[in-house]
Chains A and B, each alone.
Chain A
Amino acid sequence: MNKEVIVVTAICGPHCVGPDDGMALFEKMLSILKSGNSVCLDFSSVETLTTSFLNASVGKIFGKFDYADLEARLQLINLDTVDQQSVSLVIKNAKEHFAKNQEIRQAENDIVRKAHEED
């Protein structure tokens, strides 16, 4: 098993903010992980990192593989403490999300959107 390093800025540039970039990174990760190799995401020189981007990339990959397998084959480096916390939260939420049934997922989505709309 080889480890392939993905330099995040090479795919998304320094500002990782939305689903377009997140999905591009997701596709790259998916291709490597499906081949049986490990992935190391290198976040050096990333200036902006949002949870919207992380959901579409790191979070989404947790819906495709066994968690233990993924945690053994996915490494993230060069994140500061704040971004590490954001990644941890997105992974925790993703695991919870994929464990829920569709009714609960939709109900929570409705709550989150209503909270914003009522604001």
Chain B
Amino acid sequence: MVDLTPHLKAEVIDIRTLPAPKESSILVDTNIIYFFYYPRFSELQLLGEGPLGYQTKEYPRFFKKLLLLKTPLYVHPLGLCEFAKTVAIAELQILYCRINGVTKVDDRFKPKGLRYAYPSEYQRIQREIVNHLHSIKKTFKLIKSNVTIDDLLANFVIEWNNSFGEAQDAMMIADAKRENINLVLSDDGDFATFEDIKFYTANNSPIRAYQEKMASTAQQS
């Protein structure tokens, strides 16, 4: 696990202990969408009798608070594409295991080959993902991302170079900031490394790092 403490730039907010924001808009990251809208994510825990993990338990509680407060909820086009791609890969891996009678994917797994070899299965996967996207559309607004190459150079590159996040995270943050959205709900600790955002999470790693940083700052002063 990466120690985020030396790289922290965001204000990290533990969604289990602090109230949900009411008036400010919030960008919801792909992983939260995946937890709520991809049915297989919660299948084992919710259909079985096993204990619920924090991702299955804490984010819906916080999300419901946001909905009741009518906090404007945003997703980024890249986030939706990432969601579609992640679900498609998971579904293709499950298909591969079923076809080959194995329980783990191996080096022979080639998503592109499966898409072409099993077109009806790929169409089923596409239909299901499109339906998930229609469900998402009911609750979320889309962040505008009509950027020019100059916008990219001016905003995205700054966010990317000043953080440890991946390129698509930097793009989402750059576009969100342009729309005056500075709050992010995510389970991805990388968001703690972006400047001038409030990062809402239930992920203990960035929460602990932030608490340590605050304690250290208080001691120094």
User: Which A residues are within 8 Å of any B CB, using their own CB?
Assistant: 13-15, 17-22, 47-56, 59-60, 62-63, 82-83, 85-86, 89-90, 93-94, 97-98, 103-113, 115-116, 119
Contacts and interface: CB of A to CB of B under 8 A. Distances in A.
Given A52-B56, A94-B43, A105-B43, 7 more contacts: A18-B57, A55-B46, A59-B43, A82-B138, A83-B135, A98-B47, A107-B104
A54 B39 contact: yes
A107 B37 contact: no
B38 interface: yes
Interface of B: 30-31, 34-48, 52, 56-57, 59-61, 63-64, 67-68, 82, 86-87, 89-90, 93-94, 97, 103-105, 128, 131-132, 134-135, 138-139
A115 B47 contact: no
A55 B48 CA distance: 10
Given A48-B67, A116-B31, A19 B57 contact: yes
B135 A97 contact: no
A20 B60 CA distance: 8
A63 B63 CA distance: 27
22 contacts: A14-B67, A18-B60, A19-B46, A19-B57, A50-B60, A51-B38, A51-B135, A55-B46, A56-B42, A82-B138, A83-B135, A85-B131, A86-B131, A90-B39, A93-B43, A107-B97, A109-B40, A109-B43, A112-B43, A112-B90, A115-B86, A115-B87
A115 B46 contact: no
A98 B119 CA distance: 26
A86 B93 CA distance: 21
Contacts of B34: 116, 119
A66 to B, nearest CB: 16
Contacts of B103: 103-104, 107
A18 B67 contact: no
Nearest to A115: B90
Most buried by A among B30, B43, B56, B93: B43
A18 B15 CA distance: 15
